[in-house]
Structure 1
Amino acid sequence: MSFEKVKVYAFVGPSGTGKSYRAQMVASEKGIHFIIDDGLLIKDNEIIAGESAKKAPTKIETVKHALFYEDAEKKPIEKAIKKYKPAKILILGTSDGMVQKIAANLGLPEVSDTTYINQVATEEEMQTARHIRVTEGKHVIPVPTFELKKDFSGYLLDPLQIFKSKGIGQKPYISEKTIMRPTFSYLGKFTISDTVFRQIIEFLATKMPEIYKVVRTRVSSSEIGTSIYMEVVVMYGCNIQETLKEFKEKARREIENLTAMNVISLDVVAKNIYVPGSD
């Protein structure tokens, strides 16, 4: 598949120097809406194709995935490029050779313009980024947290929103990003105890007068997310259907906000009704 009309830009820098953090800025300054970074095709702030290479189990697999060697990784990206017909694409890579390989493997033209990390970041900023990568195993991906939850449940750390003015008379850009720790991180797998979910749920129950208490919580987690089942006792006289709906919405929202986990299902059942004075 060939895309001769696409103008290919590159953003190059060593691993851990802050490329992904600055990708949206570089793209914005060059009028680019499409970015290829670590196996993902990103349009503005939305992932439109691909699966992040950082989900791969080993460092070697991560590199192979990011280069689009396999048809399973390559085809969705090619299909999306064909569908959206971008005029420009920015490819991120650790070297000129890596970016050229990505372009060639996807059938894109040769790189016509390259920006190097030292052109947009100071040595001090790059050293800080390297330190965070080495000591904390954190990576930035230039999309909002919710865009990655399905792929990275259990690995997301912090959402960021970057707002920067580009000067008088120029339109500012807002770039949402997600800090995450990849599956292969030597710092270990990121997990959240079931007790954390129970404590969040029980705390929320104390803030809702219609819920007397939570009597049972069952949590099951998998690679794609977390499923939660709750049994509660509701207060006599409340609208049970509305109470359960409100509690379910609040619980999902708070759990996702506080843990960055992808809640794939959340069920609340009224097991009993509490009548004041019946103790």
Structure 2
Amino acid sequence: MNPYIKTTPAKEFRVIAFVGPAGTGKSQRAQLVARENEVDFMIDDGLLISKGRIMAGRSAKSERNLVRAIRRAMFQFPDHRKAVRTFLEKNAPCKIMVLGTSISMAEKIARALSLPTPELIIDITEVASPEEIINARRERHEKGQHAVPVSRTQLRKNFAGKLVVHLRGLFKSQDKEDGERTIVRPPFSFFGALTIDPSAIEDMVRHVISLSPQVKEVEDIKVGSSDDVISLDITVNVTTGKLNFRELGKREQKRVASAVRFFTGLDIGKVDIRIAEVFFQ
């Protein structure tokens, strides 16, 4: 459930979806599809866009961590989600086009923003030929480049990778930045689904904790998850040393939370460290 109250009736928003697998050229054609369907705003990779301008949100491509990039695109960060929803509230009624790699993804994005289920689904194959899709996928695989339907100046402060080239659409409207798009090379490339197994997090935690000279043994690690927030319950055996047990526990809490957050991009709700046995030396 979203953490804010819907103050605008769903009927004030009309939603369509433009879908296709990653790297098939959706963003390159997004402005044209939006114009043909009289769309007011586009949602693409965490951004709310209108006529080539970023109106609200933050680009998933601004994230240097793959997991955080996926969560950013799906509006799983409360402040990000609220900012976009608030902007839409102020501009209702309006028509919105959600870009996604699948119908399911588009529906999840709409649901995250408390928007109606898309009333129309437009597939990339309806607006691009098989040859164009093949060429787009080749560009993505070989060069790792992505198109973003906004101007270079709009994107410059909202992207972590390299801005490669700026393009203008062949069918230019009177709006200065309508139809513009920028080719970018993000710091990572990704195809398919991503799953982080709890055992991988356990191994990571075990390694980080084991680096402490006062930790003799890691007895048990429990990984919990609720609403995309991770909780860790760690049981250790320790030795006496430079730090008292309270100081040791606080230090290891910070080290574990920082490491897991950095390497996985997941939010850490709590880290509980229990001392089962003490060895004197």
TM-score (normalised: structure 2): 0.61
Contact 1:3 1:108 in 2 (8 A): no
TM-aligned CA deviation for residue 69 of structure 1: 1.1
Shift of 1:109: 0.7
Name the counterpart of 1:81.
88
Provide Cα deviations, 1:139-172, integer angstroms capped at 9, x if missing partner.
0000110001112376111000012289xxxxxx
Two-structure CA RMSD over aligned residues (Å)? 2.1
1:130 alignment counterpart: 137
Which residue of the partner structure matches residue 183 of structure 1? 187
Residues 184, 165 of structure 1: alpha-carbon distance in 2 compared, 3 angstrom cutoff: closer
> Which structure 1 residue ranges, 4+ long, deviate > 4 Å from structure 2?
none
1:92 aligned onto 2:114:
no
Which of 153, 156, 159 pairs up with 1:152?
A: 159
Identity %: 41
Cα pair distance change 1:71/1:174, threshold 3 Å:
closer
2:123 counterpart residue number: 116
Q: Does residue 21 in structure 1 map to residue 64 in structure 2?
A: no
Equivalent residues in 2 for 1:55-66 (5 A)? 55-66=62-73
Superposition deviation, residue 185 in structure 1: 4.6
Match of 2:169, SS state, is strand
Q: 1-side partners of 2:172 and 2:160: how far apart?
A: 33
Q: Is the 8 A contact 1:140 1:177 kept in 2?
A: yes
Partner letter of residue 182 of structure 2? T
Contact 1:11 1:93 in 2 (8 A): yes
Counterpart of 2:232 in structure 1 is none
**Distance in 2 between the 1:72 and 1:37 partners?**
17
Name stretches of at least 5 consecutive residues in structure 1 with no aligned partner.
Answer: 167-172, 187-279
Determine the C-alpha separation between the residues in 2 that align with 1:82 and 1:23. Answer: 23
Q: Which amino acid aligns with 2:82?
A: K
Q: Deviations over 1:16-50 (max 9, x none)?
A: 00000000111100111200000000011110101
Q: Report the secondary structure of 1:164's partner residue.
A: coil
Quote how far apart the aligned CAs of 1:3 are: 4.6
Assess, with a 3 A threshold, how the Cα gap between structure 1 residues 137 and 96 changes in structure 2: closer, same or farther.
Answer: same
Matching residue of 1:54: 61
Aligned to 1:110, what secondary structure does the other structure show? coil
Contact 1:18–1:126 (Cα < 8 Å) also in 2: yes
Give the superposition deviation at 1:58.
2.8
